[in-house]
């Protein structure tokens, strides 16, 4: 069986770790662009629970977080009948491929991995899961004949490693043929969404705008974003975290905001209110759906199980090809 892309629509795939409640960076950097691809791509979107195990050491936190991420994807508009939507851990073939791909990468390449290097630099003693993280991620991607991977900029290095592993495999075992599809990252406009402190918005930094906070908390948090302190009348330069968030969320609102800021007589408090309104207009209907979806864990389980069955069909096809190529029966 040849790679799926040769017979079907191209495939888009991405994963989100169940480490905490998804934030605006996840939404603008990965979820919204990924959902936008479903008209033209065959989409595989999943919950990277085994990747989360490198950090999440609490069964209840893991359990809860998987449902948070699942309900988030669905509330944001993922259609489970059109997208293969599943948990990573429901497709054991990924671990078999991870082993094969680990034999395609030099340890030196993994030693240069950002997350591993950061952990060492912080004086931590990273577990081998953090070291091997890029290999499992490569297997996630390659297993489904993925053509494009919508992600934020922080994942660029992982995609480069994935490309290296797939290319090396093809070189060694494919005799010039693309046995494994070599994927492209799809890094969109919102490649690095800033957090409340101006640094990259991230679950671990605690600087995030959680997507489905209640409206009151959302507004309160936005009002606390640090901005300039020029007097109301003064013309202002449209820049900084608040403006950047507005630009990434709703470019048309940002254009208007820029004009008003430059003209003067429009304060940062007004800008915050305008950003809040734009964000709330987009999130409010999703927030309502989120609450309903999140409340029904058995329904989420059923959806994910159904997705995993479909995912395994393609996973098995790839593994048959791989096993044959490397001389395993
Ligand atoms: P986090 O970095 O907060 O732990 P994840 O690692 O689970 O979040 O990221 C899931 C997806 O969201 C990835 O594609 C990642 O690139 C994207 N992402 C996370 N934070 C940001 C951000 N601040 N800007 C753009 N994309 C982001
Ligand atoms: N490493 C990604 C992150 O931290 C999550 C992830 C795991 C992923 N496997 C993937 C993303 C495959 C895209 C494709 O955000």
Domains of the chain: 11-193+296-326 (3.40.50.620), 215-289 (1.10.240.10)
pLDDT of residue 8 exceeding 90, the answer is no
Per the listing, tokens 């195990």 go with 53
∠ at Cα 224 (218, 226), nearest 5°? 130
DSSP 190-253: -SS-B-TTSSBP-TTTT---BTT--HHHHHHHHHTS------TTS-----SHHHHHHHHH-HHH
8 Å CB contact between 51 and 15: yes
pLDDT of residue 216 exceeding 80, the answer is yes
Give percent of the chain above pLDDT 90: 94
Q: State pLDDT tens for residues 78-99.
A: 999 999 999 999 999 999 999 9
C-alpha to C-alpha distance for 139 and 47, rounded to whole angstroms: 14
Read off the tokens for 12: 């888009």
pTM, two decimals, is 0.96
Nearest one of 180, 148, 152, 186 to 164, comparing CA atoms: 180
Could you tell me the pLDDT band of residue 6, with boundaries at 50, 70 and 90? Answer: low
Q: How far is the CA of 25 from the centre of ligand 1 (A)?
A: 6
Q: Is the CB of 192 under 6 A from ligand 1?
A: yes
Q: Pocket of ligand 2, candidates 11, 14, 136: which has the most ligand atoms within 8 Å of its Cβ, to mutate?
A: 14
What contacts 313, CB < 8 A, 6 or more positions away?
A: none
Could you tell me the pLDDT band of residue 1, with boundaries at 50, 70 and 90? Answer: low
SS (H, E, C) 67-129: HHHHHHHHHCCCCCCCEEEEEHHHCCHHHHHHHHHHCCCCHHHHHCCHHHHHHHHCCCCCCHH
**Is residue 267 left, alpha or beta, with left meaning phi > 0 and alpha meaning psi from -120 to 50?**
beta
Residue-level pLDDT at 304: 98
pLDDT of residue 3 exceeding 90, the answer is no
Q: State pLDDT tens for residues 312-324.
A: 999 999 999 999 9
Residue-level pLDDT at 7: 57
Q: Is the CB of 248 under 6 A from ligand 1?
A: no
Work out the angle between the directed axes of helices 251-263 and 241-249 (0-180°, nearest 10): 140
Query: What is the number of the ligand 1 atom nearest to the C-alpha of 208?
Result: 3
Read off the tokens for 118: 């950061």
How many residues comprise the chain? 329
Q: Is the CB of 29 under 6 A from ligand 1?
A: yes
Q: Is the CB of 51 under 6 A from ligand 2?
A: yes
* Cα-trace Rg, the chain: 21
């Amino acid at each position: 069986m040849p790679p799926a892309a040769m017979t079907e629509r191209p495939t888009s795939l991405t994963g989100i770790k169940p480490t905490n409640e998804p934030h605006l960076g996840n939404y603008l950097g990965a979820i919204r662009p990924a959902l936008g691809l479903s008209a033209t791509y065959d989409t595989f979107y999943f919950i990277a629970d085994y990747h989360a195990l490198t950090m999440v050491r609490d069964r209840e936190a893991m359990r809860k977080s998987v449902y948070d991420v699942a309900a988030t994807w669905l509330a944001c508009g993922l259609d489970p009948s059109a997208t293969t939507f599943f948990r990573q851990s429901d497709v054991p073939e990924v671990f078999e491929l991870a082993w094969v791909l680990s034999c395609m990468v030099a340890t030196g390449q993994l030693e240069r991995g950002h997350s591993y290097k950061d952990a060492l630099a912080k004086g931590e003693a990273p577990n081998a899961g953090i070291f091997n993280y890029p290999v499992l991620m490569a297997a996630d991607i390659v297993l489904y004949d993925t053509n494009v991977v919508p992600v934020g900029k922080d994942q660029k290095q992982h995609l480069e490693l994935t490309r290296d592993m797939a290319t090396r495999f093809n070189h060694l075992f494919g005799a010039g043929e693309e046995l494994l599809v070599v994927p492209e990252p799809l890094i969109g406009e919102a490649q690095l969404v800033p957090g409340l402190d101006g640094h990259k918005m991230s679950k671990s930094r605690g600087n995030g705008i959680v997507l489905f906070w209640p409206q009151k908390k959302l507004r309160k948090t936005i009002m606390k974003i640090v901005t300039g302190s020029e007097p109301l009348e003064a013309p202002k330069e449209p820049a900084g975290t608040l403006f950047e968030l507005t630009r990434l969320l709703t470019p048309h609102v940002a254009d208007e905001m820029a004009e008003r800021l430059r003209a003067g007589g429009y304060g940062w408090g007004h800008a915050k209110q305008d950003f809040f309104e734009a964000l709330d207009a987009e999130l409010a209907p999703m927030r309502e759906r989120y609450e309903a979806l999140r409340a029904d864990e058995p329904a989420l389980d059923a959806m994910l199980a159904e997705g995993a069955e479909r995912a395994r069909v393609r996973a098995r096809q790839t593994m048959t090809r791989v096993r044959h190529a490397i001389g395993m029966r």
